[in-house]
Structure 1
């Protein structure tokens, strides 16, 4: 198995995670992008999104919008 480590940074998990073994997605703020990492699946590299795209996504989630 390939072990992709996320880039260095301060990664945070959701406050809804119950314990150390229950979370699977972590997010980090970088100067040019937002990093998203599935910390339960180390075979997949971290993703990065432009800050403006991430902000739009978060606003839509908070507003209860969905793509479906």
Structure 2
């Protein structure tokens, strides 16, 4: 459990807590939302909601480039 850290825009953060431009992640590959450990499989709603949010934010990123 755990994984890469993300912010509320689903952007992946480096070890210093800075955004890695253009890199987005959702679901159980991410850490920080529920802490380092949570019950596996309880992320179905999270995957759907945050997957959509990542798509929206990535589309905004691409349009800005």
TM-score normalised by length of structure 1: 0.37
Q: From the two aligned structures, give the one with the greater helix fraction.
A: 2
TM-score normalised by length of structure 2: 0.38
Q: From the two aligned structures, give the one with the greater strand fraction.
A: 1
**Larger C-alpha radius of gyration, 1 or 2?**
1
